[in-house]
Amino acid sequence: MAIIEEVQAILAADRISLLERRVDQELIKGDFEGSVTGSWVKLREDGAGIVRYNGKEYVTKPLGFVSISKGASVLLSHANGVYFSSW
């Protein structure tokens, strides 16, 4: 039971932190600055794109309208905590 209470406390603290950032309009930083070139992995069934950059896979909002092959270079960028892939 103690583990459940500990997890609930952590989740509550994370939620409060998120709400405070929104009130303060603090930008959510990404794992990199600016835009970088990543490698396309796949399109998930829910429409999210998967892009690999620097050994990590990112869930992105794809901005391209044509299909591309696995391994194709894509532009990976972020804005306020949301990652975008475009080609």
Q: Tell me, yes or no, whether 47 lies in a domain.
A: yes
Q: Tell me, yes or no, whether 75 lies in a domain.
A: yes
43 against 14, higher pLDDT:
43
* pTM, full prediction: 0.66
- Residue from 46, 48, 45, 39 nearest 83 by CA: 48
Residue 53: give the domain boundaries.
36-86
**Domain at 65, CATH number:** 2.40.50
Q: Tell me, yes or no, whether 81 lies in a domain.
A: yes
- pLDDT (tens digit per residue) in 68-79: 999 999 999 988
Q: How confident is the model at residue 48 (pLDDT cuts 50, 70, 90)?
A: very high
What span, in angstroms and rounded, lies between the C-alpha atoms of 41 and 46? 15
Q: Tell me, yes or no, whether 24 lies in a domain.
A: no
